[in-house]
């Protein structure tokens, strides 16, 4: 649900060779559907959706060469700003696999009031926002009450697989597991950018979580929510 595998469009993959290797690694990590979510920032030069779609088609062909049951879908990681709905309509932002789901990124120190207001507008416009790596958004990560409020609004949450790892003195993984257990984490994503510092890592995270959380909870996180998303149904 969160990857930077398309070549030459952001700080992710550099070329097709790297994209191919990242796809190979993702597949061996257990991934079968991968949404390409290149960064989408505000600014003068707006994204041409058709260019991204074309890269996604080529990446999907590569995926199919790896295995017939491997699919690449289109998307964006959209840095929040006003007017997102209009940019979508104008063909400058891609929703997740052309559904009403939208992966939205906030600055780590963004004020909660602005986050809430912005997401409410997106929901009112008929979108289903997924907060990208919610664990990085400080005010949100630290408050279960705020997470609950956003959930009531219809907002979903994505967490990076690497954030569940961490050492014994790192309290973040334990808190994140609690959120998964409470149904506040809907999607896992590797947020992969390359093969070294930010690789398509999933397996060790899934194994660790499976040891500590009930099977029903893992099913929801890894399969049921994905199925709902792929069928363009709400969670």
Binding site for Fe ion (CB under 5 A): 77, 191
Strands (E), the chain: 33-36, 39-40, 71-74, 77-79, 101-105, 128-131, 156-160, 187-189
CB-neighbour burial class of residue 86 (10 A; exposed 0-12, middle 13-18, buried 19+)? exposed
- Report the nearest approach of Fe ion to the CB of residue 140 (Å): 16
**Identity of the residue, 77 or 135, whose beta carbon is nearer to Fe ion in the bound complex:** 77
**Identity of the residue, 60 or 77, whose beta carbon is nearer to Fe ion in the bound complex:** 77
**Identity of the residue, 60 or 191, whose beta carbon is nearer to Fe ion in the bound complex:** 191
- Report the nearest approach of Fe ion to the CB of residue 75 (Å): 11
Closest residue to bound Fe ion by CB: 191
CA–CA–CA angle 92, 54, 133 (5° rounding)? 60
**Identity of the residue, 164 or 217, whose beta carbon is nearer to Fe ion in the bound complex:** 164
- Please, are residues 52 and 7 in contact by the beta-carbon 8 Å criterion? no
- How many residues comprise the chain? 235
- Report the nearest approach of Fe ion to the CB of residue 141 (Å): 16
- Report the nearest approach of Fe ion to the CB of residue 123 (Å): 22
């Amino acid at each position: 649900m969160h990857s930077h595998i398309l070549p030459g469009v952001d700080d992710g993959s550099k070329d097709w060779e790297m994209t191919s290797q990242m796809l190979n690694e993702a597949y061996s990590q257990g991934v079968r559907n991968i949404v390409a979510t290149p960064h989408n920032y505000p600014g003068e030069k707006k994204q041409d959706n058709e260019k991204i779609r074309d890269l996604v088609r080529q990446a999907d062909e590569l995926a199919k060469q790896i295995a017939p049951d491997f699919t690449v879908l289109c998307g964006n990681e959209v840095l929040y700003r006003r007017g997102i709905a209009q940019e979508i309509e104008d063909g400058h932002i891609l929703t997740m696999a052309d559904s009403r789901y939208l992966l939205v990124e906030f600055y780590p120190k963004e004020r909660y009031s602005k986050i809430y207001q912005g997401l409410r507008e997106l929901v009112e416009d008929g979108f289903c926002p997924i907060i990208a790596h919610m664990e990085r958004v400080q005010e949100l990560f630290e408050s279960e009450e705020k997470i609950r409020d956003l959930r009531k609004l219809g907002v979903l949450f994505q967490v990076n697989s690497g954030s569940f790892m961490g050492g014994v003195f790192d309290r973040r993984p334990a808190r994140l597991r609690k959120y998964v257990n409470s149904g506040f984490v809907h999607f896992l994503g590797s947020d992969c950018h390359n093969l070294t510092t930010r690789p398509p890592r999933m397996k060790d995270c899934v194994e660790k979580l499976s040891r500590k959380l009930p099977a029903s909870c893992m099913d929801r996180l890894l399969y049921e929510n994905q199925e709902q998303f792929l069928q363009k149904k709400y969670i």
